[in-house]
Amino acid sequence: MVIKISLILVLLSILPDNFKALADVDDQNNYNNDATLSSIKFSNYLGLNAVSSSRSSGCNTQAKSSESTKRQAMLHKEEDVDADISVKPREQSVKLHLKRWPVSHGTKSKASAFDSTARDLARIQILYRRITEKKNQNTISRKGREQPVSSTASISGNLIATLKSGASLGSGEYFMDVFVGTPPRVFSMILDTGSDLNWIQCVPCHDCFEQNGPHYDPNGSSSFRHINCHDPHCQLVSSPDPPRHCNTENKTCPYFYWYGDGSNTTGDFALEKFTVNLSNPSGRQNIKQVVDIMFGCGHWNRGKFHGAAGLLGLGRGPLSFTSQLQSSYGNSFSYCLVDINSNTSTTSKLIFGENKELLNQPNVNFTSLITGKESLDDTYYYLQIKSIMVGGEVLEIPEKVWDLSSEGAGGTIIDSGTTLTFFPNPAYNIIREAFREKIKGLPIKVDNTALDLCYNASGVQEIEVPEFGILFADGAVWNFPAENYFYQYDQEGVVCLAILETPHSALSILGNYLQQNFHLVYDTNKSRLGYSPTRCAEL
């Protein structure tokens, strides 16, 4: 199948390819307001020239039977699950049409792109340590604790928030505007399904990063309340090191939380009122205040948060915003990420509660979320990969690569806080070689690039890029449009695979670049992840 593809925006700059240097980038780098990664517009999103279409772009599909006995045996190992999934022996590809930007367009900062890639690499290393060492859990496991419940009465309808790309702030992450306190004041917070704690930079800010707008001032809100260090909820957060002793009745609950790139926040654990939009069955919207949301009031905050006021955790743990609202909206939320290069005027929606309109769409597909295993970290959303498809062929990757170990190592998570997608060896090497074998006629670019597989497409009008999809153990297939796994460096005519090897870890991470323009539903009640190709900016 061939789909005509049109590339309209490029943002990543030429970077050094030394991963150690990327991981060790100085926290004090200056940032500008340029996007880190580009979102590549392809004609299948614009409805152009779909040729000999055997499937819809990005949809869960069934491949035709393969003549390869070896692959047939692999796919039919579990007939009750995989009987309808096999492989086309011929290559499947999409064609990239490259546009040449004028020189004046190419003013994006190399430091900004460098920072984003470095943050991803360092984040993964610490995510892996957090999983194996349980460093953000107390001695008592959080899994057996009672879930916190807000005092909001049961709500019929959905809680709706607005999402926007952080590209104009030089970030590869996504932002959500949240109204906090009484009277409510708006703060732009990073959306992160890979963490639990909600936190905001607070007055007095003893050591804080630069943000857009003023810091949150608890003295200016009549609904702010400290959590006492004797309160059982104080055990849900990690204490600073060395720990502070709780020796008075009115002493506040201190917290410390750290992230994969060395970023961290320290302050007081507290309760506050959050204001959100409420959509009722008639489609009209009004404002709803949700009281007693547990959050971190951060007085010491370090990291590369690109102007954000803090972070909104959407992980599975009891401290996350989603978990705290379960009594109101249930066990489901959904979001749709616009192109990462979009400016802040281009928005989409984050919906808390069952999205019936999405669930009723014919092109929504599901794969299982892994639950119930002792080795799982209760923060993350785990998926079980069976293999990877490149150019319509299932790659012969040892299935043990995708498995969790008894220590919690390995496995696959989907994470909105990581930009690129990462796979461990030998999976990554096999994926990279599959792309190298199928992309013909272009010299490989090996110098001055941040990623591992780049091509010099200077002077070329179009190149063929193999299709890419993930085959899950339950039989589901997630196919991606080309702009989700390939992009072009700014002005240089260099086209790169937006996938990297997981550094020093067996963990696989599906980042937000791969998730662009899919409507994703996290249904923890039925332990499933839904995905549907969508023009997110039109929601």
> Quick check: 113 and 513 in contact, CB under 8 A?
no
Catalytic residue among 34, 261, 415, 490: 415
The amino acid occupying position 105 is: H
From the list 430, 435, 500, 421, the residue with the least C-alpha distance to 464 is 435
34 is catalytic: no
Q: What stretches of 381-469 show up as alpha helix (H) in DSSP? A: 427-438
Give the span between the Cα atoms of 92 and 151, in whole angstroms. Answer: 53
**Unique residue bearing structure tokens 């992230």:** 259
415 is catalytic: yes
Cα–Cα separations (whole angstroms), residue 485 to 6, 268, 317, 415, 510: 15, 40, 30, 16, 11
Q: Cα–chain-centroid distance for residue 139?
A: 29
In this structure, how many other beta carbons lie within 10 angstroms of the beta carbon of residue 51?
A: 10
Cα–Cα separations (whole angstroms), residue 354 to 326, 332, 382: 11, 6, 20
In this structure, how many other beta carbons lie within 10 angstroms of the beta carbon of residue 357?
A: 12
Sign of torsion, CA 202 204 208 211? positive
Q: Cα–chain-centroid distance for residue 122?
A: 15
DSSP 254-298: EEEEE-TTS-EEEEEEEEEEEEEEEE-TTS-EEEEEEEEEEEEEE
Structure tokens at 100: 């040449």
Q: Whats the size of the chain, residue-wise? A: 539
DSSP 431-444: HHHHHHHH--SSPE
Catalytic residue among 34, 120, 192, 261: 192
Burial 481-492 (b: 16+ CB within 10 A, else e): bbbbbbbbbbbb
**Unique residue bearing structure tokens 């507290």:** 270
Catalytic residue numbers?
192, 415
